[in-house]
Structure formats: C-alpha cells, structure tokens
Amino acid sequence: MSDLRDLYQEVILDHNKRPRNFRILPQSTHKADGVNPLCGDRISVYLDVEDGVIKDIAFQGAGCAISSASASLMTEALKGKPVAEVEHLFEAFHNVVTTDCECPRGLGKLSVLAGVRDYPSRVKCATLAWHAVRAALERHTEPVATE
C-alpha cells in the first residue's frame, strides 16, 4: 500500500474531503466546464479577473479524489496570480504529472500530485480543472466589459 500512499498523499485526501474554494462565483468574469469523458466527471470553474489578475477563483462539481484535489489545489495556486502566468504554471504542472522531471520550485503544494505520473490513466483527472481554466480564459480573453 506504500506506493498507493505516493498517489493518495495526505494533502490530496484532505483536499478531496474538504475542497477549498468549492462554490459558485456569482460575479465571475470567466467560466467553463471540464468533462472527463472517461468517467463522465464534470467540473465547472469560475474566475473573477480584474486588470489581468485572478482576483478570485472557485470550482464546483463531482469527481474522483485526484480531480477534486487537483482542482482545489489549483484554485489556491492561482488566486492572486496574473492571468499571464496560468499557461506557464500549467505547463510546469503538466510536466510534473506526466514526466519524471524534478519538480520545479515555485509549484508549491501542486507538486503533491507528482505521484500521478505512475498512473497514466489518471493524468486526465489531474489536469481536468486546468483544462477548464484554460478554456475559460481563452473563450473570453477580453473580460465582459459591460457587466
């Protein structure tokens, strides 16, 4: 079971049980859904972006421990960050969950998901929320100004 503990680290189990920023953002400027076709899991992410900075971020939905914890950790990591940094962070995170690279510093708690690299069928779970954020930001690169 020790190797399972590498995947299901305490931090992941904790974020799965008590996901952070787990709510709807009524005043969000950006929103998108992420669907994992493998299992039918669906999450929604909400962002409130002001002057190119993610002022607030939240998510909702049901998923496995990996996708829920990853979404929860992601919201913590992205809150307060400039939108321009999302792509960069996602790339670093993606590397961590798919390759044997050294975890780059600056990823912080996100690196607890590194265990996913040994479970190729679970990579999609770990990246689901990130794909949703990316879709949200791409679809409305210009915040909806009149609202």
Partner 1 sequence: MNAMSALPALSTLPPTRSAGLDLVRIRAEFPILRQKIHGKPLVYLDNAASVQKPKAVIDAIGECYSGYYANIHRGVHLLSERSTAAYEGAREKVRAFLNAASVQEIIFTRNTTESINLVASSFGGSVVKAGDEIVITGMEHHSNIVPWQLLCERTGAVLKVAPFTDAGELILEEYERLLDSGRVKLAAFVHLSNALGTINPVKLMIELAHARGVPVLVDGAQAVPHLAVDMQALDCDFYAFSSHKIYGPSGVGVLYGKQALLEAMPPYQGGGDMIRLVTFEKTEYADLPNKFEAGTPSIAEVIGLGAALDWLTAIGLDAVAAHEHELLEYTTTQLQEIPGLNIMGMARDKAALAAFTLQGVHPHDIGTILDREGVAIRAGHHCAQPVMQRYGVPATARASFAVYNTRDEVDALVKSLWKVKELFE
Least distance (Å) between residue 8 CB and partner 1:
6
The nearer residue to partner 1, 66 or 107, going by C-beta atoms, is 66
The least CB distance from residue 63 to partner 1, in Å, is 7
Decide whether 12 or 137 has the Cβ nearer to partner 1: 12
Q: Are 35 and 15 in contact (CB under 8 A)?
A: no
Least distance between partner 1 and beta carbon 19 (Å):
13
Q: Rounded to 5 degrees, what are φ and ψ at 129? A: -65, -35
Residue 73 contacts residue 97 (beta carbons within 8 Å): no
Cα gap 12→84, rounded to integer Å:
27
In the complex, least distance from residue 14 CB atom to partner 1, rounded to whole angstroms: 11
Helix then strand then coil, % of the chain, to nearest 5: 50, 20, 30
Two tokens, residue 147:
């609202």
Q: Which is nearer to partner 1, 54 or 59 (CB)?
A: 59
Binding residues vs partner 1 (CB under 8 A):
1, 3-5, 7-8, 13, 17, 38-42, 62-66, 68, 119, 121-122, 125
The four Cα atoms 60, 63, 114, 45 give a dihedral, to 10 degrees, of -20
Tell me how far, at minimum, the Cβ of 81 lies from partner 1, in Å. Answer: 28
Query: Quick one: 4 or 145, whose CB is closer to partner 1?
Result: 4
Q: In what order do the strands lie in the sheet with 30-36?
A: 30-36, 41-50, 53-62
Cβ nearer to partner 1, comparing 26 with 37: 37
